[in-house]
Amino acid sequence: MQRKVNVWTSIDWLTVTIYLILVIAGWLNIYAAVFDEEHKSILDISQSYGKQLIWIFAAFAIAIIILIIDSEFYSFFAYVVYGLLILLLISVLTMGKEVNGARSWFEIGSLRLQPAEFTKFATNLAVAKYLSTFHLKTYRIRTLIVVGILMIVPVGLIILQNDTGSALVYAAFIFVLYREGLSVGVLIVGFLLAVLFVLTLIASKISVLIGLLILGFLLFGIFRQRLREFIVAISIYVGLTIVLWILNEIFNYKTSMYNIYVASIVLSSIVYIVHIYKKKIAIGFWILGTLFISIGFTFSVDYFFNNVLEQHQQERISELLGVQSDPLGAGYNVNQSKIAIGSGGFFGKGFLQGTQTKYNFVPEQSTDFIFCTVGEEWGFLGTTFVIILFVFFLLRLIMLAERQRSTFSRVYGYGVVAIFFFHIVINIGMTIGLAPVIGIPLPFFSYGGSSLWAFTFLLFIFLRLDASRLELLR
Amino acid sequence: MKSFIEKKIVIGAIIVLIAFIYILRLFYLQVIDTKYKYSADNNVLRYETQYPARGLIYDRYGELMVFNEAAYDLMVIPRQINNLDTLDLCNVLKISIQDFREKLYKAKVYSRYKPSLFVKQLSNEDYAILQEKLHKYSGFFVQTRTLRAYLQKTAAHVLGYVGEVDDKIVSEKPYYKSGDYIGISGIEKSYEEILRGQKGVKIFMVDVHNRIKGSFANGELDTIPIVGKNIHLTISAKLQLLGEKLMNKKTGSIVAIEPSTGEILALVSSPSYDPNLLVGRVRSENYSKLNKDSIKPLFNRALMAKYPPGSIFKIVESLIGLEYGVINPNTGFACNKSLVNCHNHPTATNLTMAIQHSCNPYYFMVYNRIIQQGVSTNRFKDSEIGVARWSKSVKEFGLGQLLDIDLPGMKKGRIPDVDFYNRWYGEGRWAFSTIYSNGIGQGEVEIVPLQMANFTSVIANKGYYYTPHLIKKIENTDTIPSKYLKKNKVNVKPEYFDLVTNAMELVVEAGTARRAKIKDIPVCGKTGTAENPQGEDHSVFIAFAPRENPKIAIAVYVENAGFGGTWAAPIASLMIEQYLTDSISRPDLEKYVIDYK
Ligand SMILES: [Zn+2]
């Protein structure tokens, strides 16, 4: 049974309408953000708003082409598209142009393309294709490993390009996995690890370590309810620490206190394990195991932060966590962003009347920090409107994803939701000081052809799949 | 696992929850919090960059060399100009209306919203008058800056200068904004990030009458500038000054190094210029004057001038010859002037005598043995093998190498290798007979003065050097870059250095450099007279002292001054004496050198 539907009647026009509103609102705000009295015409293509208009028309053309192509194409060629984009990522590393420390751009004449933007929809296609394989169980470790590899390849290449912001987007796929059967525990563990991550960065490694230990002892005490065991356990640990400290002083090894704490954890754990094993205390294993995993995590976060992340990335993360406020660095941008948004008040200063956004973020005013212009010129009314519009957009996409008959279309749909959600949350969050400044664009608003086109690809492939959802079961 | 809530509801709820949190946050920022509401009373915000004082520069004994003086820049924000009495402002600033319009146009082109520099470095008097009337000129304000000032007119090439950033720097380094200063050459460039500190920003609310209504948001969003760190150089200001005096009317260079650390004690390039010429308003005008000057005062000869080393290179050949075992301390060669010309001297029956009398035919033979060791029967091939090995050995001494000194712009010089000659003559078309002049430091060998001084350090240390550097201490830190703490070893046995050192002592005691002798201080040296096809020969001298535990190694190069013993040797001698005894016992010699010709 196979019948072709007419794309133009079965496409979800509501989503298309929201898309159009967002794109046009974005364009007007770019105009306002870089408004220049010398170049008043909004159509002036020497200015970024003029260029953006060209990108917008090109995006419309892309959308139409996507809709014309048969919906089976996307499923059939999912891996091919993925492979091509990976090749592009590799070649941009060697032949790309370096802009602001990131080698992630192809320059063709005056046009700059960023392959990392397009890899998002390609990876989404590949993941959807894989998860829709017949008889596949999402909760199997093997499945997760394959999905992990599908994501690690582009993530690794993007990090090599020095564009960590774009790489972090892939974390959003956890929602897709959750929807496809991963247990709710995954979400919770993810959340807890995030908290521990933040704590490691804010507080010193040593205090996190001590905190974890205390927590471990407390849990042990609560579950076992035996005061004597509890006191003995603590005494073993404290005693070992003191012995190690004295040894260190006597032999003058000059080891840090931190190493002493870790060493006594390891040594005392051996005693505990023996005890737990003898008495067969199941809960003890769980507590000890969790403790070890947490300590390992703390270690690796600390290592990652200090040895892997670049100076500017460290500063950006630290900034959000309030670890340090670098005068004219990242903290300065967020302060200016808050001033711009805050000064907008309830009704805003009016279209083109904003001044803050015009003189503070030269490099990022029309890209990463475009939401400031919305806040300054349109006030609380404007920002709320944009947020509600985005929420409406996302909920509509969830609805569309749920009504798919094929796993492929549903997984792809949730991927679209997850990617958009991540961008929106991080981008708006960073302008109001609630998320780290990791420099990813606000969908449809931020200036730039690559991101607009990539988001158009992402969305319209889904709309195309949705339009023919009744054609056949995949 | 069965969940009692549908997953789509969970995901939807998370989205709505975060949106709700964001809207609450926005409500707080935009409606409740009054901190950001400056525009209600028609106020505007003015961002004043707080420039930190640039770090001071001291010499090795803590004597101040570079400090700061206040300067005042008039800034403008075109958009905030309101009811301006242009004529009045022009009178205060002493500029024409035409000039005023041009400046304002430039500022508008840059940005209507951001402050631009309008008039830089107002005099104190102009600043006083302007301050009185500033409230009438909305959109204009004064920003305090600092300019470099120098206690002595010395060490211009070492210190370098500071100037405004250009568009290229602004686009590459986000820290710098148009109108900021940056170290452009010398130490000011090498240690820019340490010296500059970190800018701060103060945000003021300003009313329509250009009156400051107070700091914005109680200064919570201001950032405090961090003062630049002071640094101490390895230079001795006194020695440097003497060196510049001794090079009076001469062209060339003096480099003095402490061998045991690689610290540069003096780095003179002559002719030089007054560092005050490249400060402030007059900088660009003076710069182009200096740049056009035919004697090239901006050219740092100590690092950039490539010279034939002349006879001092015989020391290198001696050491390499001994190490290769192609000669021994008792090797003698006749002074055969048909090989290469020479002066009259007793026949060199051993190596010491050859160095003492600087015999050219002797080194023709030594170099011959180094290059043609008979490894191959084909003499072209044999020379190729010889040159490859020789070139590698010479480079170990830091010659023909970029030494990683903390000054920008050093040149490599040239120690020719096989590739070079193959490109120069073609493969298989050159042999020892083509390149023998290298043996006496002529030919294709070219060395910069810093390398000569560093090479002298290697002899003084009997086989190693620390990369020459100028940084002694950065305030509030206890270490200097680790690259300056690393020993660079040379593959020559210490006893060969002893032999060469003996000979070099004889050169000063009873050889070609008797003018370098200092009472009670054993000086070891070697003269050189580098042939110059363009004119008079160059005068060269390297030396270190005292013989045991040397404290100073020095290289002096005087262009077109003839025989090395005549000018270069006395200059080095006076420098050594000044550094070791802090006095000069031979004022006549000093006067003779300064008066020159
Ligand atoms: Zn001779």
Cβ distance of A339 and B175 shorter than 8 Å: no
- Cα angle B52, B174, B278 (rounded to 5 degrees) comes to 55
Å from CA of B256 to ligand 1 middle: 30
Distance, CA of A36 to CA of B113 (rounded, Å): 10
Distance, CA of A13 to CA of B348 (rounded, Å): 102
Contact between residue B244 and residue B270 where contact means Cβ atoms under 8 Å apart: yes
Record the tokens describing residue A459, joined without a space.
């969305």
The residue count for chain A: 474
Cβ distance of A391 and B19 shorter than 8 Å: yes
Record the tokens describing residue A308, joined without a space.
């892997």
Q: Which residues of B touch A391 (CB under 8 A)?
A: 15-16, 19
Cβ distance of B29 and A342 shorter than 8 Å: yes
> Does residue B287 surpass a pLDDT of 80?
yes
CB atoms within 10 A of CB B111: 17
Cβ distance of B39 and A349 shorter than 8 Å: yes
* Facing residue for B8 by CB, picked from A331, A338, A402: A402
- β-bridge pairing B57-58 and B231-233: parallel
Contact between residue B257 and residue B470 where contact means Cβ atoms under 8 Å apart: no
Does pTM surpass 0.80? no
Nearest chain A alpha carbon to B17: A391
Å from CA of B367 to ligand 1 middle: 15
Cβ distance of B225 and A398 shorter than 8 Å: no
Cβ distance of B199 and A328 shorter than 8 Å: yes
Cβ distance of B30 and A179 shorter than 8 Å: no
DSSP state letter for B114 = S
Distance in Å, alpha carbon of A76 to nearest chain B alpha carbon: 27
Name all domains of chain B by residue range, CATH numbers in brackets: 45-233 (3.90.1310.10), 237-277+296-594 (3.40.710.10)
Q: Which residues of A touch B35 (CB under 8 A)?
A: 342
Q: Which residues of B touch A311 (CB under 8 A)?
A: none
Distance, CA of B495 to CA of B135 (rounded, Å): 79
CB atoms within 10 A of CB A310: 11
pLDDT, tens only, A421-471: 999 998 999 888 887 777 789 999 998 889 999 999 999 999 999 998 877
Cβ distance of A328 and B223 shorter than 8 Å: yes
Distance in Å, alpha carbon of A271 to nearest chain B alpha carbon: 37
Mean pLDDT over all residues of chain B?
89
Cβ distance of B25 and A434 shorter than 8 Å: yes
Cβ distance of B33 and A342 shorter than 8 Å: yes
- Percent of chain B exceeding pLDDT 90 equals 56
Q: Which amino acid is at B351?
A: L
Q: Is B529 exposed, middle or buried (0-12, 13-18, 19+ CB in 10 A)?
A: buried
Q: Which residues of B touch A343 (CB under 8 A)?
A: 36-39
- Taking one residue from A and the other from B, the number of pairs with CB-CB distance under 8 angstroms is 121
Distance in Å, alpha carbon of A305 to nearest chain B alpha carbon: 23
- Cα angle A395, A399, A400 (rounded to 5 degrees) comes to 115
Distance, CA of A109 to CA of A98 (rounded, Å): 15
Domain boundaries, chain A: 7-149+324-467, 203-309
Å from CA of B529 to ligand 1 middle: 14
pLDDT one digit per residue (tens) for chain A, 474 residues: 456 678 888 899 999 999 999 999 999 998 888 776 666 777 777 777 888 899 999 999 999 999 999 888 999 999 999 999 999 999 888 887 776 666 777 877 667 788 889 999 999 999 999 988 877 776 677 887 888 899 889 988 887 887 777 888 888 888 888 888 776 666 666 666 666 666 666 566 677 777 777 777 777 777 766 777 777 777 888 888 888 888 877 776 666 777 777 788 888 888 878 877 887 777 777 777 777 777 777 777 777 776 666 666 666 666 555 444 444 554 677 778 888 888 888 998 888 887 776 655 444 677 788 999 999 999 999 999 999 999 999 999 999 999 998 889 999 999 999 999 999 998 999 888 887 777 789 999 998 889 999 999 999 999 999 998 877 654
Give the number of C-alpha atoms closer than 13 A to the C-alpha of residue B570, restricted to the C-beta side.
20
Q: Which residues of B touch A394 (CB under 8 A)?
A: 15
pLDDT, tens only, B527-553: 998 888 788 899 999 999 999 999 999
pLDDT mean over B229-258? 95
Distance in Å, alpha carbon of A384 to nearest chain B alpha carbon: 6
* Facing residue for A327 by CB, picked from B19, B47, B223: B223
Q: Which residues of B touch A46 (CB under 8 A)?
A: none
Cβ distance of A327 and B31 shorter than 8 Å: no
Distance, CA of B219 to CA of B217 (rounded, Å): 5
Q: Which residues of A touch B108 (CB under 8 A)?
A: 38
* A137-142: Cβ within 8 A, 24+ apart: A137/A181, A138/A177, A138/A180, A138/A181, A138/A182, A139/A181, A139/A182, A139/A183
Mean pLDDT over all residues of chain A?
81
Nearest chain A alpha carbon to B223: A327
Distance, CA of A328 to CA of B410 (rounded, Å): 33
Q: Is A44 exposed, middle or buried (0-12, 13-18, 19+ CB in 10 A)?
A: middle
Å from CA of B327 to ligand 1 middle: 17
CB contact set of A278 (below 8 Å; sequence gap of 6+) = none
Q: Which residues pair with B256 in a beta bridge?
A: B266, B554
Cβ distance of A345 and B226 shorter than 8 Å: no
Check: complex ipTM more than 0.90: no
Q: In this complex, is the C-beta atom of A439 within 8 Å of any C-beta atom belonging to chain B?
A: no
Cβ distance of B223 and A421 shorter than 8 Å: no
The candidate with the shortest Cα–Cα distance to B177, out of B189, B188, B164, B187, is: B164
pLDDT, tens only, B341-362: 888 888 999 999 999 999 999 9
Tell me how many helices (H) and strands (E) chain B has: 21, 18
The candidate with the shortest Cα–Cα distance to B386, out of B313, B336, B317, is: B317
Å from CA of B526 to ligand 1 middle: 15
pLDDT of residue A331: 64
Å from CA of B358 to ligand 1 middle: 7
pLDDT of residue A437: 74
Cβ distance of B31 and A332 shorter than 8 Å: no
Q: Is B463 left (phi over 0), alpha (psi -120 to 50) or beta?
A: left
Q: In this complex, is the C-beta atom of A344 within 8 Å of any C-beta atom belonging to chain B?
A: yes
Q: In this complex, is the C-beta atom of A421 within 8 Å of any C-beta atom belonging to chain B?
A: yes
Window A:22-41, CB contacts with B under 8 Å: 36-38
Å from CA of B74 to ligand 1 middle: 70
Cβ distance of B36 and A178 shorter than 8 Å: no
pLDDT-based confidence at residue B145 (cuts at 50, 70, 90): confident
* Facing residue for A341 by CB, picked from B3, B29, B108: B29
Alpha carbon distances (Å) from A27 to A14, A246, A257, A367, A444: 20, 68, 56, 11, 8
Contact between residue B529 and residue B540 where contact means Cβ atoms under 8 Å apart: yes
